[in-house]
Each structure stands twice: as C-alpha cells, then as structure tokens.
Amino acid sequence: MKQLRLDYISKIQGEINIPGSKSISNRALLLAALAKGTTRLTNLLDSDDIRYMLKALQALGVSYRLNEDKTICDVDGLGGVIDSEQLKTLYLGNAGTAMRPLCAALTLGVGTFELTGEPRMEERPIKDLVDSLSQLGANIEYQKNEGFPPVKINANSLEGGEVSISGSLSSQFLTALLMAAPLAKSTVEIKVTGELVSKPYIDITLELMKRFGVNVVNDNYQNFSIITGQKYVTPGEFLVEGDASSASYFLAAAAINGGSIKVTGVGRLSIQGDTAFADVLEKMGAKIQWGDDYIISSVGKLNSIDLDLNHIPDAAMTIATTALFASGTTKISNIYNWRIKETDRLAAMATELKKVGAEVTEGHDYIEITPPAEIKHAEIDTYNDHRMAMCFSLLSFSHAGITINDPECTAKTFPSYFEQLKELSS
C-alpha cells in the first residue's frame, strides 16, 4: 500500500480551476447517448467513475471521440433506446452515478445486460430502484444477494404508468427513474415515498433533462410526471461545470489556514447543491465571496456548527475535518446514508478522527466532533473512499501533519487532487 506523508503546510493561496462535476459528467454522457444528434461535452471529468460510464457506453455501441486530455467528448447519440443482440456485461467499479442510471436506462430497449462492480458495489443497495422498475414491467434479477448488484436485466421495453419509489436511502434511484421515464411506452407518473434524501441532486437531474429537451412536471418533489412522446435532443455543445464537492476541500483549506483561495468553474450560477457548502463554511466564520462562476474563501475565526446537512452529503464530510480547527463541538445530522456510500462513512470518519485525538460521538445518523487541544499525527486509513483521503488532507494545516494511506483512491473523482493541493501550498 502506498502512503503519502503531508508535512505542515503554513500557507495555501491562489486560484484553482476545479475539474468537471462527476454528477453532471455521467448524467450528460448518458443523456447524450440517448439523444438525437451529436453532443460535444466540454470540461468533462477525467476520473474512474466517468471512465466506467464511457466504457459501458462503448460496449453498448455508442460511439464517441475523446480529445487527448479526455475533457472534450463528442458523443453520437442513438436517438432512442439501447438494444443489444448479445449479452452485455458491464463492469461499473464503484460508480453509483453509472450503476443506478444505467440499470434504469437499460430496461428501455431489448436485450440482456449484466451490471457488475467492485466488492463494495455489491454492498450498496439497489432494491428501491429495481422494485420501482418492476412496477413498470421490467424484469431484473439479482445475481448474488437480493437487493444488491450484480443485476441481470432482461430488457423488453418499459411500460409507462404510475410508479412509486422510495426516496429515503438515495436520490440516485429517483434520478435513474426520471432519466429513463421519457423513453417508456407511455406517460410515467412517479410518486416519491418516504423522506427524499440528497434532494438537490434531483435539481441537477431535472436541469440536465431540460437541457436535453425533456420537460418534467415537478409537484413539490413528491410527484413527477413525464409526459409521453418527449425525446432527448442534443443541446449541441454542453459545458460541464466544475465539481462543487471537489471545490469544498480548497474552500475549507483557505478558511482553516489563513490564506485565500479562488475556485473557478463553479459559483453563483451553479446547478449543484454542494455549492451550499460555502454557506456552511461562512456560518462557521469563513469569509466567502461569490461570482457567477467562482467562489473565494478566506480565513475567519472558525466556530463549531450544529446543522442538518442531508442536502450536501458529500461536502458535509469536509465539514467533519474542518471541525477540528473550529472552537467547540460540531454536530452534523441527518446523514444516515453516509453508511451506504464508498464505505460506511460514519464509522470510518469516527474511527479516523479519534486517531488524531478528537472526541467523537458516532450516532445512527449523526456525528459529533470535539477537537483535541493539540492534533496528533496519525496514519489515516481511507477505506478506498476518495473523500476520506481528501478530507483528511486538511490535517496538513496542523503542525503535526498527517499521513494518508492509499492516497490514489482519489482517482474515483479527482485523480490530480494531491498535486493540485501541493501547487497551492507553501
């Protein structure tokens, strides 16, 4: 296993153009594949999660051309559903934004498709989505454990009609159903049951569908109608915004460390809910300035917060390590679904925060963090979770420094993270 030792960074300063959003890249690739016409995607993210989607689309017969640095992609849309005469087995790593949307989209055509992934993917639930697709006539089998990938889709088009879906574990199930819905055989009326978690990701989905020509009637995130007869059409060129979750590490770094960082590519006009991270940081005491496509963060005296961060589950992890530099006890609540992501993030976060000396309470769906008088150096395990590695890099702003085990796990969404951090540090 590789280790990365980060010694004390006394200053972080400058400007960084954040790589493309994972959530937008994978949605845009799938919609471009289903759309009529060729779409040019620019500022596409080049990372593992996107590579899995790209490889899957290629195996499914979608043709595209990537430029040299893989940030521009011309996708020749199929102008409809995906069919296949041969069995197609698609390996999707641990990319939720590939597994869930493809599971829904592949029920629309005719063919047999197997969706597999890495061991952790086999522990991440998919039952709520499969149950909903089954209500619309889909035939999906579990190949190992009931409710979890790998799944086999015996596709023979999807009926429309009324369908209910649980929103309480992951918004990605509703996202997947929404994106598939226009290509079902008749109008789809979706009713969401339970609390809808991670709600701002649904706004990304609706906005992307609109940009590709499909209108969804949204009745207060409880009921959605997708009127039959709509087709995805290329918007021509589509610029992928910078990733707001990736931006969180740099915004937090400046707030902790007394520098000033401008992140570009994401700002006031962003469609990503994770930009609300900057508001949380501001509540903690950071100075934040917004532009249409940039955010500037600079230091303030950081105080603890006690907040429900269900709406920003990914960026909320950055608050957990930022809390070590704030006075008082920080509580982050309503984050049960941290437990079903790349790892059990509530357990992992609690274990690793304790290693640097923090006092931590791990609740069923919350975490409480009290910083130690002095942060200790530790070797941080990252559990193959890119965000564990990136969050704990913030500990390099303590005099003790930090060692990150398996730093290359950032490849899921941000392969060049540690290089970029170094470039801005002195």
Ligand X SMILES: C=C(OP(=O)(O)O)C(=O)O
Note whether 53 binds ligand X by CB under 6 A: no
**Are 185 and 159 a contacting pair, CB within 8 Å?**
yes
Exactly one of 270, 413, 420, 425 binds ligand X (CB under 6 A); that residue is 413
Residue 387 binds which of ligand S3P, ligand X, none (CB < 5-8 A, kind-dependent): ligand X
Write the DSSP assignment of 148-169 as a string of letters.
Answer: SS-EEEEEE----EEEEEE-SS
Taking alpha carbons only, the member of 398, 424, 420 closest to residue 407 is: 420
When binding is defined by CB under 6 A, the residue of 96, 235, 259, 265 that contacts ligand X is 96
Q: Nearest-CB residue to ligand X?
A: 96
CA 379 remoteness from chain centre: 26
The Cα 54–Cα 364 span in angstroms is 36
Return the number of the residue (169 or 375) whose C-beta is nearest ligand X.
Answer: 169
Which residue in the list 274, 314, 381, 406 is annotated as catalytic? 314
Shortest separation between residue 132's beta carbon and ligand S3P, angstroms: 15
SS3 for 346-398 is: HHHHHHHHHHCCCEEEECCCEEEEECCCCCCCCEECCCCCHHHHHHHHHHHHC
Question: Which residues form the interface with ligand S3P (CB under 6 A)?
Answer: 23, 96-97, 170-172, 175, 197-198, 201, 313-314, 337
- From residue 297 to residue 316, the character string flagging contacts with ligand X as x (rule: CB under 6 A) and all else as - is -----------------x--
Which residue lies nearer to ligand X by CB, 302 or 315?
Answer: 315
- Minimum Å gap between C-beta 342 and ligand S3P is 9
Q: Considering beta carbons, is residue 132 or 298 the nearer one to ligand S3P?
A: 132
Q: Which range binds ligand X by CB under 6 A, 91-99, 161-169, 279-287, 325-333?
A: 91-99
Report CA dihedral (52, 423, 282, 326) to the nearest 10 degrees. 100
Contact present, 129 and 176 (Cβ < 8 Å): yes
Would you say 248 is a known binding-site residue?
no
Query: Please, which residue, 151 or 378, has the CB nearer to ligand S3P?
Result: 151
**Catalytic (active site) residue 314:** yes
CB closer to ligand S3P, 47 vs 171: 171
Which two tokens mark 243? 């990733």
Q: What does the alpha-carbon distance between residue 288 and residue 266 come to, in Å, rounded to a whole number?
A: 13
Whose CA is closest to 258, among 294, 291, 301, 288?
301
The distance of closest approach from Cβ of residue 172 to ligand S3P in the complex, given in angstroms and rounded to an integer, is 5
Instruction: Measure the CA–CA gap between 282 and 270, rounded to whole angstroms.
Output: 18
Q: Which residues are catalytic?
A: 314
Binding residues: 22-23, 27, 96, 124, 170-172, 198, 314, 337, 341, 345, 387, 412
